[in-house]
Structure 1
Amino acid sequence: MSLLIRLGNKRFTLFTLLLLFKCCLAWFVVFEDGPSMMTMLTEIPFFWLVFCMIEWFSKKRKLLYYTIANLLFTLLYFTVLMYYKYYGIIVTYHAISQADKVTKVGESTYSLMDPYYLLIFVDIVVLIGIQVWLRNKSKRIHINLKPISRTVLSSLFIVSIVLCFFSIWPNRASMNENKQAEGMGILNYEVYTIFADSTEDKAMVDMKDITQPVIDNLKGVTAVSNPQYFGAAKGKNVIIVQMESFQDFLIGLTIDGKEITPNLNKLAKENFNFDHFFTSVGQGTTSDAEYVVNTSLYVPKHEPATKNYVKKELPSLPKLLNAEGYHTATFHTNDVEFWNRKELYDAIGFDQYYDKSFFGDEDHVAFGASDEVLYSKTIEELKKMDESDQPFYAQILSMSSHHPYNIPEEKYQMELPEQFDDTLVGRYILSQNYSDYALGKFIDELKQSGLWDNSVFLLYGDHQGLPVYSLDSTEKGLMEEILGHEYGYTEMFNIPLILHAPGVTYPAEIKQTGGQIDILPTVANLMGISIANQIHFGQDLFNQTTSNVLPMRHFLPSGSIISDSSIFIPGIGFDDGKNYPFAGQEGNENGATVEQYEHALELLNLSDSYVKQLPDKAKK
């Protein structure tokens, strides 16, 4: 006896409905308005293009090919969900090409997953089970795949192409990538981005037209004849500490009367404290922060700076200090190959790097040796460097407080109220409290060794630690309780910058807006080094009191800028964009201007053009 199974158009319909459910789930998570009728008009035609080709070209095993297509679409939607939970944007092939990083930060990645996301794989498991069962029963079951007529297939294919085209074409001019994806449909957007790099980017600016006066004019930077603090720390050592995932709201924060960061609080009170300071990183996160701080150049649009930019002869802070007789070194407990740091350090001119091969893996926290090990071994190397006639520049990267903030309980330095238990916010605060503890011990050792009084010490956060997209309703409530207002973009991208310069009197309050892009020119001023002949996109925070506009990339849509009063995020363009005011600036009508928006886009294009035209670095 045989069983006749007729699928044909029913199979076509079944897989359309399955994938429509999955795309609606993705839309529900990543788009503010969720799925709509437009979802069907933008997503279904792409399914049909693939299904038509399966019907045309496969003579056998059509159900298998449908299942494979279903699996590939499902994996893409799942990747979109996971990526959005941390980055707040739609993943593209640029980020997928860096998928090898996921295996190295697996715990961080898996922590972002809501269990219900796995529902999108249920049908695939069932379908595979059915096909295995059919295969085992093949002697008793005859399968007749009823074909769809070629006329119907051709009509569906043409209609699908037309619908895909008219989804993509009107939306390609949008500055906001999330708006583009919503207008085009996620699948159409993924295809569009593959071709957009070569067709949509602004024309490259010729090198002779990229000058510091042009950059300064766009930024509103004015020349200062006698810059304040110029050379105030000339000849001193430079120690720069990059704090993992550290946000500014932690400075001065108390919970149940306990300070979260007592050592940083003290440091901020006794030294320069820039509390309106922001991250400038992109897809490369921590490594991008190293790049921006040491070059004063913007990160690339779609990829980490350590992918292609490090192939160039980059102007940098280490090279500036090398020319002044400094020895330069960087310290990080992870493997130097992660994020291609070996190439980064070579490109920006560090004389020496210390990585996992030096620090080992003792007292493991997150992805390497703990911050305590980092600082205890680093201080011994700094003492050795200080014994030579050369001053030194050392950049030190903390890492223990890395997402998802699962530090061992024996590292806890405080207890939090019960409502913080088993929350990302609670784990974040405990890990940063430990990082502050380890840093405090390091500062004590710097003071005891005499290095503190002979060194510029600068500390900043590398990037946001609590993405608003990752927080559930309970965690958002905890943040609102801590801050006294809703947690959003303005707190998420705000990181600390604290600077100690021996013998320099600091003002009581610094309200100047700044970003990581400004660290190189600020340090150069303190060290008495002119950078008039070195292209840089930051500004000296001691000597520019005019408005500072900071372009953002990757974590916010293209065209987003941080200004003195708000964070601006464009829509299709400037006119339908939205300002998110900083606390205390609500009701302030002085949001971003169209001139600031246009200048920010021009600055990004100048930076991209400049780096792409730099000579390739010499091979060693």
Structure 2
Amino acid sequence: MKSWFSSDRLLRARLFVFFSVLLLLKSYVAWTILFDNGPSWSTLLKELPVIWIVFCLIEWFSSKRKLAVYLWVNLFFTLLFFSIIMYYKYYGVIATYHSLKQVNQVTAVKKSVLKLVDPYYLPIFMDIVVFGILMFRKKTKMVWNSISSVRISKKAVAIMFTASVLLALLDVLPNRASLNEHVKAEQMGILNYEFYTLFKKDEIELADPSELTQSRINELKKLQPASESPAYWGAAKGRNLIIIQMESFQSFLIDYKVGGKEVTPNLNRLVRNHFYFPNFYQQVGQGNTSDAEFITNTSYYIPPRGPASQEYADKVLPSLPRLLENQGYSTQTFHTNVVEFWNRGELYSALGFQRYYDQAFFGADDAIAFGSSDEILYDKTVEELKKIEQRRDGKPFYAQLISMSAHHPFDLPPEKNRMQMPEKYQDNIVGDYLRSQNYADYALGKFIDDLKEKGLWDNSLIVLYGDHRGVPMNQLDHEEKKLMLEIFGHEYNYKDMINVPLIIAAPGVTEPKTFPQIGGQVDTMPTIANLLGISLDYYLHFGQDLLNNTSNLIPQRYYLPSGSFLSDSSLFLSGSGFQDGTQFPLLNENGEVATEEDFARALKLLNLSDSYVLQLPDRVQKE
């Protein structure tokens, strides 16, 4: 009897071996990009099992056109690796099948995606190009048809299938409890992790209803009892509320100069004359800008998976628009893109906005990024706000504006460029980012002037904040990292990336004052409520009034791995759990660090928010 390892048997296995080696090489490319430690010998044991399980199934069930099946599987895995690489470069997150729910958004951000493609990624498609050419050659077709008809013995396939399943289980089972998704993917292997998330049930263990109270939330956050006369209570009562969400705006831009010229002179002026919170942080997830809208208007955390605009859009969400409507305000939101993008139409209904203004109102003139420019946004909005004020005979309004011209990939039209940059800022994302934000600041300055001219400035509370990071850590090349090192004076890191500004301006109320305490987007609504004199006694909220609280705990998701959080002492990034996590110092003059108790409290706060929102009543959908 011939051994399976005889030359004849090996010849029959050539497709199996060839495509195994091919996909293993592609997995090594992915590991080089995704993981700091890169590939090692263990990568072989982590990636081959899934590949072999699929190939064994081909050998079992494909008797004809076997080569074609191998080619299609090879193409599938290649596209999977490439998609994971691209997603990681943009978000800094390992993509899973959950991310594919947003595949319809890709066409809208195609410029951003194309900007991420480096030439050295493309060789993973080289074999597919070669196969495509060879398929049209007659002699090659005959050889390949002959190869396709050869089968490996069922006994050998059964042995390899069983061994592969056992190896895959040994990679997956011990690592399921890891909180950090990135660490989990490295421990399991990329393909194991993808299949694990495909079949894993995402059931949230709902908290006991007795825990869904404000006192329990305050206890977890270690908040002191509220003062009977909080600072600035009702100082802006009865004023219009204008919230401006600034696209991709990071805190390092404040007071930053290039060649002696301020990048954001108008925002710098606001910072010097009003309330400024330099240690304020994003809390968005997969929904990015739309998540920032959700958090700001609700004071809840983003869902465990997916954008809030889809996961929570079927709920009747307690919100700032509903609170203000009860106080006699009209409520509206302004965005120059189409309202269908990120399912905003449904999100706005869930939040209770009375009206939204989208591309149908603003038109498509002077387009930048996904819609009309910030100049168009502000020009048309201020005219509409004046009409609203006149129609309502002076009764207050709430208007949220979503700026967009400084959106990744920061492809500002040349005619909009208002700032000359040194050579080192040419043709790189850092320089493009600075130019785009300089234009956004210019448009904002014009809006402020218009508000003053039309008599809206003096009777309004204006809140400005960044929605999310602008310069992704994972996208920078060597020279761009050097530029960020010059800007920060240290290596660009996570706490720099997610640090966005919060500025509050109310003429006659706010004064030149900097609040050093840490805050997050979840804190925006309670802070506004205090200034407007609106009680939150019967509104469950997870943020806090930043004007009257100096200590904070801010759970993070998505852009940072699960289990990450900010405390007064540090930004903590989880590992498999707490013990192997990483800490970045914040306001820790005494050398304090985040504790395991902080870690547990942050996870509990997320669970309470998930539990509360998921149990809210469903909206009655319009037919």
1:95-127 per-position Cα deviation (integer Å, ceiling 9, x unaligned): 122111111110011111111111111111212
1:566-606 per-position Cα deviation (integer Å, ceiling 9, x unaligned): 21111111011010224x85x86312111111111001011
Q: Aligned partners of 1:189, 1:338: CA distance in 2, in Å?
A: 29
SS of 1:319's partner is: helix
Aligned to 1:303: 306
Aligned to 1:249: 252
Aligned to 2:206: 204
Task: Tell me, yes or no, if the aligned pair for 1:293 and 1:516 is still in contact at 8 Å.
Answer: yes
Aligned to 2:347: 344
Q: Aligned partners of 1:85, 1:420: CA distance in 2, in Å?
A: 21
Percent identity over the alignment is: 54
Judging changes above 3 Å, is the alpha-carbon distance between structure 1 residues 360 and 151 closer, same or farther for their aligned structure 2 residues?
same
Task: Tell me, yes or no, if the aligned pair for 2:65 and 2:145 is still in contact at 8 Å.
Answer: no
Aligned to 1:276: 279
Aligned match for 1:213, one of 192, 212, 215: 215
Q: Aligned partners of 1:246, 1:379: CA distance in 2, in Å?
A: 22
* CA RMSD in angstroms, aligned pairs only: 1.8
Q: Aligned partners of 1:564, 1:111: CA distance in 2, in Å?
A: 36
Equivalent positions of 1:562-601 (< 5 A) are: 562-582=566-586, 589-601=591-603
Aligned match for 2:613, one of 608, 611, 614: 611
Judging changes above 3 Å, is the alpha-carbon distance between structure 1 residues 255 and 151 closer, same or farther for their aligned structure 2 residues?
same
> Normalising by the residue count of structure 2, what TM-score does the alignment of the two structures yield?
0.96
Aligned match for 1:86, one of 74, 90, 101: 90
- Measure how far apart 1:501 and its partner are: 2.0
Q: Aligned partners of 1:452, 1:147: CA distance in 2, in Å?
A: 78
Q: Aligned partners of 1:309, 1:552: CA distance in 2, in Å?
A: 18
**Residue identity matched to 1:307:** Q
Q: Aligned partners of 1:306, 1:32: CA distance in 2, in Å?
A: 33
SS of 2:501's partner is: strand
SS of 1:498's partner is: strand
Q: Does residue 367 of the first structure (1) align with residue 340 of the second (2)?
A: no
- Measure how far apart 1:509 and its partner are: 2.5
Task: Tell me, yes or no, if the aligned pair for 1:6 and 1:144 is still in contact at 8 Å.
Answer: no
Task: Tell me, yes or no, if the aligned pair for 1:5 and 1:142 is still in contact at 8 Å.
Answer: no
Q: Aligned partners of 1:455, 1:130: CA distance in 2, in Å?
A: 69
**Residue identity matched to 2:578:** F
1:104-156 per-position Cα deviation (integer Å, ceiling 9, x unaligned): 11001111111111111111121233233248854998556332111110000
Q: Aligned partners of 2:76, 2:148: CA distance in 1, in Å?
A: 26
Judging changes above 3 Å, is the alpha-carbon distance between structure 1 residues 576 and 137 closer, same or farther for their aligned structure 2 residues?
closer
Aligned to 1:231: 234
Structure 2: stretches of 5+ with no match in the other structure: 1-7
Q: Aligned partners of 1:479, 1:153: CA distance in 2, in Å?
A: 53
Q: Aligned partners of 2:507, 2:139: CA distance in 1, in Å?
A: 77
SS of 1:119's partner is: helix
Task: Tell me, yes or no, if the aligned pair for 2:279 and 2:518 is still in contact at 8 Å.
Answer: yes
Q: Aligned partners of 1:23, 1:184: CA distance in 2, in Å?
A: 13
SS of 2:310's partner is: helix
Judging changes above 3 Å, is the alpha-carbon distance between structure 1 residues 140 and 549 closer, same or farther for their aligned structure 2 residues?
closer
Q: Does residue 185 of the first structure (1) align with residue 167 of the second (2)?
A: no
Task: Tell me, yes or no, if the aligned pair for 2:250 and 2:466 is still in contact at 8 Å.
Answer: yes
> Normalising by the residue count of structure 1, what TM-score does the alignment of the two structures yield?
0.96
1:351-379 per-position Cα deviation (integer Å, ceiling 9, x unaligned): 11000000001011111100001100000
Q: Aligned partners of 1:507, 1:220: CA distance in 2, in Å?
A: 29
Q: Does residue 353 of the first structure (1) align with residue 390 of the second (2)?
A: no
Aligned to 1:117: 121
Give the 4+ runs in structure 1 shifted more than 6 A: none
Q: Aligned partners of 2:564, 2:143: CA distance in 1, in Å?
A: 62
**Residue identity matched to 1:444:** D
Aligned to 1:398: 403
Task: Tell me, yes or no, if the aligned pair for 1:243 and 1:398 is still in contact at 8 Å.
Answer: yes
- Measure how far apart 1:54 and its partner are: 0.3
Aligned match for 1:317, one of 308, 320, 323: 320
**Residue identity matched to 2:477:** D
Q: Aligned partners of 1:251, 1:577: CA distance in 2, in Å?
A: 31
Q: Aligned partners of 2:465, 2:95: CA distance in 1, in Å?
A: 28
Task: Tell me, yes or no, if the aligned pair for 2:172 and 2:188 is still in contact at 8 Å.
Answer: yes
Aligned to 2:493: 488
Task: Tell me, yes or no, if the aligned pair for 1:6 and 1:146 is still in contact at 8 Å.
Answer: no
Q: Aligned partners of 2:144, 2:469: CA distance in 1, in Å?
A: 60
**Residue identity matched to 1:34:** G
Q: How many residue pairs were aligned?
A: 612
Judging changes above 3 Å, is the alpha-carbon distance between structure 1 residues 144 and 313 closer, same or farther for their aligned structure 2 residues?
closer
Moved more, 23-32 or 141-150: 141-150
**Residue identity matched to 1:262:** P
